[in-house]
Structure formats: C-alpha cells, structure tokens
Chains A and B, each alone.
Chain A
C-alpha cells in the first residue's frame, strides 16, 4: 500500500475563551493518500477549517500530531500551499507579482521566475490581466490568481479553505472544473473544506463529514462515482440526499446551540 501522505493522529484542539473552552477538534484520526482529493464537509463551527489550519501549520493541535511525508508539522510551509476563501492576494502587487512572490522568496533566478509565472498565467487564463492589481479583478479572477500563486510553489499538497464560497454559481462551477483539470494533470493531494454537499460530491474522491462541537469525524466516505460527474444524475442525487441528512443533523445541533447561547445572553 502507498505511503500515506498526510497522517493525522489523535488530534485535539481546544480554544480557551474567557468564559468557556471550545473543543474544536476531538480525537481526529485521518490518513490521506498521495494524490487523493479529500473534502472536509460540515456546518459552520464543525472544526473543518481548524483542521485545515492545523495541517497548514497556522495553528497547531493542542495534542496529537500531524505528519506530512513522515515529518511533523510545526509551522507553515510552501510544501502545503493554502488557498483562502478571502483570496488573500497582496493588493499592492500586480497579478504577476503575486504569482512570483513565493518564487522570489525561494530565491529562484529571475529568468526561471518569469517563465514559470508566464506558464501559470496562461494555464489559468490570466495572461491579459498580468499587470492588473487585485482590486481591478472579479472574485473568480482573484481566486484564479490565488490558485496560480500556490501552484507556482509546486507544492505537492493543496489546502483549500472554502475557496469558491464567495463566488456566484456559474463562476464556481467554472473554477471547480478548472481545479479538477489541474488536479488530474498535476496529481496533487487536495484537502478542500466546504459546507456545500454538492460541491463535495462534484469534486472529491473522499468526503469526510464532521460533527458540530466537538468536531469529530462523523462519516468517512469513499466515492465511487465515475468522473466527470453529472450533478443531475440519479447516483449523484441519491448521494446528495443521504449526505444531506447527515449534515443536517449537525446543522440542527449548530442551530440549537446558537439558540441556547442567545437565550443565555
């Protein structure tokens, strides 16, 4: 069996508030194989972004370990490229400067940077926008730049935190297809956080459904639907219905807790 790429081993994460502690993650065990496209699915507050941030190294587990290629994660690093929902492009840099930034940090020669940036601009359909600033781009275009910026690093792992959550439905589908094409071509391991059931089924090899507080793994599901997937097909919709029930249970708990918290206030 292939070496597991990302190993999440007994991870707990507790956030200490002034009045109460929130157990964001509880005893998470998850092994992700190289090249796998995994979606973390669940309602707000289920800890899916916390788990992603832990893999990224932004916020380390309270206990337990995350290993990537056998090495314990203790800091952010370019081998785990992150795409944020808010794009997080540097607004003072043009599109091409944003994409080049990671390569400049690596200290590559200018000619290599230029040719790699060029190739990525074309791959993501950004060539005409290379000298624009992010403020002059649509949300979809910004997210393309953010993806190009991470691809420039050639990281084997892509971490994506609801990257298409703020986009309209058509742009979203467009970028999902683009992402699947890139994934198929480059064979990256993708960990993708979403609260959209349909998006998870459309994209993933494997869907990990998480519970609302404490965040645990409720269901770990391997998908055998052939690609390219048709959201109108019967299989797709059957899966959507059963996953919908699972997620709604957690959504319901989220809702009840919110009501309870409001009543306390």
Chain B
C-alpha cells in the first residue's frame, strides 16, 4: 500500500516543482521587463488569466437558462475537453476492440499470423495522420473522420502487443494446465489470455497515448470544437495566451488519462512480479 501523504512523497513533489517554478519566474520576469512581445510570448500571468476565463462560463448565471450545475459546467474549456475525451475514448474503444481479438488470433494461430502479418507490417508504419485526406473523403467532416483516425492510431499498438503477449506465454503454464486436464478453450481463456495481459495492457497504454496525439491533430482539420480545434482557432485571432492555455489543458488531460490507465494497470496486474508501485 502506498501512503498518499508520506514525507517522502511531499519531498518528491517539491523537488519536481523546482524547475517548473524557476522557468515560470524567468518567463514572467522577461515578460514584465518587456523583453518579449506579448503577441508572440504572453506572460504566464496572462496565460493563467486566459485559462480561468476559458474555464469559466461565458455568460452570467440566470435561472431561466437552466440548472446551476449546467451553468457552472458550460465553460468553453470543459466542453472542449469533454469533446476531445469523448473522441479519444470512442476511437480507442473501436481500435482496441478490433485489435484485441485479432491480436489474440494472430498470436495463438500460426496460420492466422501467416495470413495477416505481412499486411499488418505494411500498414503499421503509415502514421494515422497520413490517412487524413482519405478520412475526409470517406467520412466527410465532424466526429466520424476524427474517430476513424484515432481508432487507427490505437489499433496497431494494441495489436502488436497482444500478438507478442500471446506468443511469449511460458510453455510451462500450458503444460501445467494440460496436465490438469484443460482443453483448448480453457487453455486459451484461462491461461494464454491472462498470461498475455501485462503485454496487452502496455499496448493499451501506448494506444491511448497515440489516440490522444491523433485527437488533437484530427480536431485541427475535421471538427469545430475540442482542444485541438481551439488552439488552432486561437492562432487565427492571434490569441497566443489562449493557445498556451489550451496546450496546458491538453497536457493536464493527457496526464490524467495516463494516471487513470496506470492505476487500472496496477490493479489488474497486482499479481505481477516486478511491479514498481
């Protein structure tokens, strides 16, 4: 069990803050002294103000328009973040949902592998971004092309790791299970699959990361909300403070997703040896 507020963790946190705080101080100092052009590099303070404005609702609260909670959550940032998150999750679920059974089949069967691996190896190096023109031709604008691109981004990491996970299953577990009377089905579901989970989960983590990169790019071309759209929009108005505020939000959302996936990993792999946490 990890204690959340041990002295050691506070110290780690403090150490981690030193460099960012120094950087912010230098940046703010340079801006205050007029060394930077505010349109090119606004001060951290201006970014913070813009971030708060981005977070808060645009209009004052009025009872006529609905509940208090709906008003409090109506800020542009939250809508953008939830839009991006929705696309990431939907695209990831589609991509990983296709990659997992395919990877299991390719890992478990030499024949399926021989049929599909050459195709997978050719398609894998094509970055999802290269699919943008086709995605727009096929799906038009809006969520569908974005989700398609994200699904492609999530697909290959999960596929490759699932194949590797099934293939690396230690033969001794298979022998032990056969000795206990397991048939092929039991062998697959209760031995090969769980034994492959550490690999699959590391694929999931990479896949989510890729999905998050792709969502920002796809929002820049295909949709008109979301964090990626917002920073591109801000560029057109020369709102560099909003660009940076949007980037920081992207960073925080990415960190939150990765932390969540990591927690899930730790729970699912609590049996696994050599885990750090």
Asked if B271 contacts A84 (CB within 8 A), the reply is: no
Interface window among A72-80, A182-190, A228-236: A72-80
Expressed in whole angstroms, the minimum distance between the Cβ of A190 and any Cβ of chain B is 15
Which residues 47-80 in A have Cβ within 8 Å of B in the complex? 56, 58, 75-78, 80
Q: Which 10 pairs, one residue from A and one from B, show the smallest C-beta to C-beta distance?
A: A102-B180, A88-B176, A78-B181, A133-B271, A92-B194, A135-B273, A76-B178, A88-B172, A82-B179, A92-B271
Q: Are B186 and A105 in contact, with the CB atoms below 8 A?
A: yes
- Please give the distance in Å from A56's CB to the nearest CB on chain B: 6
**A125 interface contact, C-beta 8 A:** no
Residues of B within 8 A of A254 (CB): none
Contact code string A170-212 (vs B, CB < 8 Å = 1, else 0): 0000000000000000000000000000000000000000000
Question: What is the CB-to-nearest-CB distance from B192 to chain A, in angstroms, rounded to a whole number?
Answer: 11
Residues of chain A within 8 A of B53, CB atoms compared = none
Complex Cα spacing A64 to B273, Å: 42
Residue pair B172, A84 in contact (C-beta under 8 Å):
yes
Specify which of B179, B181, B182, B271 is in contact with A91 (CB 8 Å cutoff). B271
Chain B 175-191: CB-based contact to A (< 8 A → 1; otherwise 0): 11111111100100011
A86 pairs with B172, CB closer than 8 A = yes
- B interface residue numbers (CB < 8 A to A): 172-173, 175-183, 186, 190-191, 194-195, 197, 270-273
How many interface residues does A have (CB within 8 Å)?
26
A101→B173 CA distance, assembly (Å) = 12
* Separation of A77 and B197 alpha carbons in the complex (Å): 27
B interface, over-half SS: helix
Rounded to whole Å, the gap between the CB of B26 and the closest CB of chain A is 47
Q: A102-B180, A153-B180 are in contact. Are A92 and B172 (CB under 8 A)?
A: no
Given contacts A88-B175, A101-B190, A105-B186, contact A77 B181 (CB under 8 A): yes
Binding site for B on A (CB under 8 A): 56, 58, 75-78, 80-82, 84, 86, 88-93, 101-102, 105-106, 133-135, 149, 153
Would you call the interface of chain A mostly helix, strand, loop, or mixed? loop
B273:A90 contact, CB within 8 angstroms: no
Residues from chain B with a CB closer than 8 A to the CB of A86 are 172
> Nearest CB to that of A53 among chain B residues?
B175
Known: A90-B191, A92-B194. A56 touches B179 (CB 8 A): yes
Q: Please report the C-alpha to C-alpha distance between residue A84 and residue B178 in the assembled complex, in whole angstroms.
A: 13
| B180 lies within 8 A of A78 (CB) | yes
Q: Are A78 and B271 in contact (CB under 8 A)?
A: no
Q: A84-B176, A88-B175, A88-B176 are in contact. List 4 more A-B contacts (CB 8 A).
A: A58-B178, A92-B271, A93-B271, A105-B182
Provide the bound-state CA to CA distance between A90 and B179, in Å. Answer: 13
Given contacts A76-B175, A92-B271, A135-B273, contact A149 B180 (CB under 8 A): yes
Which residues on the A side are within 8 Å of B197 (C-beta)? 92
Residues of B close to A75: CB separation below 8 A? 178
B178 and chain A: residue at smallest CB distance: A76
What residues on B are CB-neighbors of A77 within 8 Å?
179, 181
Q: Measured between alpha carbons, how far is A30 from B272 in the docked complex, in Å?
A: 42
Chain B residues near A81 (CB-CB < 8 A): 179-180
A80/B273 in contact, CB under 8 A: no
Q: A92-B194, A92-B271, A135-B273 are in contact. Are A106 and B181 (CB under 8 A)?
A: yes
A135 contacts B190, C-beta separation under 8 Å: no
A102: B residues at CB distance < 8 A: 180-181
Which residue of B is nearest A91, CB measured? B271
A134: chain B residues within 8 A (beta carbon): 271
Residues of A within 8 A of B273 (CB): 91, 135
User: Looking across the interface, which residue of chain B has its beta carbon closest to that of A105?
Assistant: B181
Among residues of A, the one whose C-beta sits closest to the C-beta of B186 is A105
Between A and B, 23 residue pairs with Cβ closer than 8 Å are A58-B178, A76-B179, A80-B179, A81-B179, A81-B180, A82-B175, A84-B172, A84-B175, A86-B172, A88-B172, A88-B175, A88-B176, A90-B176, A90-B195, A91-B271, A91-B272, A91-B273, A92-B195, A92-B197, A93-B271, A102-B181, A135-B271, A135-B272
